[in-house]
Structure 1
């Protein structure tokens, strides 16, 4: 995993979302530049579809509730049935290796929300690996955001 460097993260609030409001709906689109290593986080009331590239290597996330409990859902598009199994396996490996960096970037990028609502640090993170291949299509628990805080 590459180490998260806060200076390489740009955060943009869109759709009337602020640094602390609302929690729901609050959607995250994390993209990156392979050339520079920069990360770009858009936080809005919907995903930033205009920032998504054809490779679908972004990390999408959103806050949800189960009763009074918040949890965070991550969606990773492995292949959408457009890649062979070897490439899907390689992309799964890359997503798994880089996901801690992505979660740290999301946690840091939205740190003012976490400061305003400290209980969100204890919210479960549920990761959905989206794939046409059953061996890669999985839903997993990745702990909570406290594990990904760099502060």
Structure 2
């Protein structure tokens, strides 16, 4: 896993979203610069589609009601069949390797929300790997933000 550097994270609240409200709807668009290593987190009631590049290597997340509690759902665009399986395999590997960093950045970037609602740290994180290839298309439970933030 890459190291998270808070000073390389820029956070922008968009369209009616503030540091602590609302929880639902609350959507996250995390993008990055391969050149500088900077991370850009947009938090809003909609995804920041205008920030997404053609490679589709962003991390999209949102809070959802899951029964009587909340869960954090993440959507990763491995492919839509536009790549050869070997390219999709590499993208899948990169997403898996960098996902703990991405989740740490989201948690840190929205820390004021987590401070106001500490129970969000115990919400399950559900990852949806989206792919045209069955070997990469899957849904997984990645634990909780509490578990991720205490992992070394």
Common fold, TM-score beyond 0.5?
yes
**1:66-77 correspondence runs (5 A):** 66-77=66-77
1:68 positional shift = 2.4
TM-score, normalised on structure 1? 0.98
Q: For the residues of structure 1 that align with 2:58 and 2:45, how far apart are their CA atoms?
A: 17
CA positional deviation for 1:83: 0.2
Mapped pair 1:85 → 2:85: yes
**Unpaired segments ≥5 residues, structure 1:** none
Aligned equivalents of 2:133 and 2:78: distance in 1? Answer: 9
Structure 2 runs not aligned, ≥5 long: none
Instruction: After TM superposition, give the deviation of residue 148 of structure 1 in Å.
Output: 2.7
Shift of 1:110: 0.2
Superposition deviation, residue 67 in structure 1: 2.9
Q: CA RMSD in A?
A: 0.8
* TM-score normalised to structure 2 length: 0.97
1:37 correspondence with 2:72: no
CA deviation vs aligned residue, 1:41-75 (integer Å, no higher than 9, x gap):
00000100000000000000000012320000000
For these two proteins, the number of residue pairs brought into alignment is 150
